[in-house]
Amino acid sequence: SSAARPENRQAFVASCIDAYIKGNLPVTDGAGGAGAALGVFDGIDIDWEYPVACGIECGKPEDNANFTALMAEFRRQLDAVRPGLLLTVAVGAGIDKIRVTDPAAYHPYLDYINVMTYDFHGAWDAKTNHQSALFDSPNDPSTGDQKLYNSNDAIEAFISRGVPAAKLNLGIGYYGRGWTGVANANNGLYQTATGAAPGTYEAGIEDWKVLKNLAWPGYTDNTAGATWIYNGSTLWSFDT
């Protein structure tokens, strides 16, 4: 991978800086060229989903050290170009993804950590739940690590591992996660479902701009700090 060996990290970082900081773009249809995007970006954000843990694919144990080394290489090369260029990362908010990396080791190289405090739950779960709860709810039937799938526990996990609170940004998803075939009890919350709700582009996900215009009954979980809408068979969980 681009982070597995020192020479890979050096080459990958150099290519990112050449394109996004120095603005050297390939020429296409007469556009682009040396310095074409100079000054467009004030830094680089890294979204690796996920070191060690599983996302679309599962990482490897050595990704822990490789991730920290990659951040160190980005910081070194960015500072060599111009001190003050930003380096940020988007990171998973689940405790299963936080504990397998070393925030105390990598945060010194970063200006901010953007915590992806959404997608805690979705149609991959057999039961409906909040996709971006602020807090845990005693009514949530989740167990194990999933009991910590909320914004408060995610942020606390980073702080307890030595990350300054001022470096942590809370993520907001401008979309919802949805289920259909939802049992008609408890206004659809924490109920079994038959599958993903139909979406404009993909089943189980829908833009906020669409969801806010649905004339469905809306509900608020004041303990979890979360909202959802439910029409008797389909439920959408999203921030309002």
**3-class SS letters over 129-170:** CCCCCCCCCCCCCCCHHHHHCCHHHHHHHHHHCCCCHHHEEE
Residue 3 resides in a domain: no
pLDDT tens digit string along 136-178?
A: 999 999 999 999 999 999 999 999 999 999 999 999 999 999 9
> Per the domain annotation, does 217 fall within a domain?
yes
Active site residue 57: no
Domain that holds residue 214: 175-240
Q: How many structural domains comprise the chain?
A: 1
Question: Which is catalytic among the residues 7, 49, 62, 202?
Answer: 49
Q: Is residue 79 part of a domain?
A: no
Residue 235 within any structural domain of the chain: yes
* In-domain check, residue 25: no
CB-CB contact of 69 with 9 (8 Å): yes
68-99 pLDDT, tens per residue?
A: 999 999 999 999 999 999 999 999 999 999 99
Amino acid 109 reads Y
Question: Can you give the CATH number for the domain in which 209 is found?
Answer: 3.10.50.10
| Residue 128 resides in a domain | no
Nearest Cα to Cα of residue 176 among 229, 111, 233, 103: 229
Q: Span 186-207, mean pLDDT?
A: 98
Q: Phi and psi at residue 90, in whole multiples of 5°?
A: -100, 125
In whole angstroms, how far apart are CA 36 and each of 16, 28, 41, 118, 237? 15, 12, 12, 35, 42
